[in-house]
Amino acid sequence: MAVSRASLLRGQFRSDPSAIRPPWAIGVALADARAFASACDACGRCGPACPGGIVVFDRVGRPTVDFTKGACTFCGDCVKACPSGALVRTEGAAPWTLKAGIAATCLSFGGVDCRMCGDHCDTRAIRFRPLGGGRWLPAVEAADCTGCGACVGVCPVKAIALKPAEQTPADPNKELASCG
C-alpha cells in the first residue's frame, strides 16, 4: 500500500507493531509482525466481512481488531475474505494466544462492586473471589479464556486488555490480593 504524503509527514507510514491482528493472522503466534506485514496487501476485504464489525484498519490500511466494538466469535469470515494469505485458518489451531489481563485500575480492586467483565464472559473465565470486607477480587482463568474480547469493551474504566499468553502473568492478581 502506498503511503500518502500527508501520512508520511505526520509520521504515519508504519503499522502499529502492538496492534491486535484478526484471528489466524500469520506470524502473530510467533510474535513476528513482519510476517503479517509482508503477507497483508491491505486490500480491506476482511473488515466488511466481519459480521461483528470489530475488524478495523490501522493507519496504513492493515486490519486490526477493536474490542470496544464487540467480541470476536471466531467465525472465520475474515479469513475467507483474505486473498493474500495473511490470515490462514488451520483446523485444530487456536485463532491466537490472546488472554485477558486485568489492570490495577479495575473498580473491584478499589472496593467498587463491578462485575461487568464477568457478566459478559461466556466461558466464565473471569471469576470473582471474596477478599473480605465486601470486596471481590477478579481473576482470569487463563485456561478458560478464549481471548474473544467480550470483557474489554464493557469495562467502564478500560482496565482489561488482551495480551499474548506469554506476556500475561500466571496470576496477575497475586500481588494485589496480598495487599488486601
Please state, in angstroms and rounded to a whole number, the distance separating the CA atoms of residues 7 and 91. Answer: 39
Contact 144, 123 (CB under 8 A): yes
127 φ, ψ (degrees, to nearest 5) = -120, 155
Element holding 128 (H helix, E strand): strand 126-132
Contact 87, 95 (CB under 8 A): no
Distances (CA, A) of 99 to 41, 141, 148, 149, 169: 27, 9, 8, 9, 10
Q: Where are the domains of the chain?
A: 16-81, 98-165
Q: What pLDDT was estimated at residue 177?
A: 44
Q: What pLDDT was estimated at residue 168?
A: 54
Residue found by looking up cell 479495575 in the block: 106
The length of the chain in residues reads 180
Q: What pLDDT was estimated at residue 16?
A: 63
> Which cell goes with 87?
490470515
Helix (H, G, I), strand (E, B) or coil at 30: coil
16-81: CATH number:
3.30.70
- pLDDT per 10-residue tile (average), the chain, 180 residues: 53 63 82 81 96 94 95 96 94 90 92 92 94 85 95 96 72 45
Q: What pLDDT was estimated at residue 135?
A: 81
> Which cell goes with 42?
491491505
Q: Within a 10 A sphere around the Cβ of 63, how many other Cβ atoms? A: 30
Q: What pLDDT was estimated at residue 18?
A: 73
Mention the CATH class of domain 98-165: alpha beta
Q: What is the DSSP string of 139-163?
A: EE-TTT-----HHHHH-TT--EEEE
Question: 67-89, pLDDT tens digit by residue?
Answer: 999 999 999 999 999 999 999 99
What residue type is 75 in one-letter code?
C
- Do the first three CATH levels of 16-81 and 98-165 match, i.e. the same topology? yes
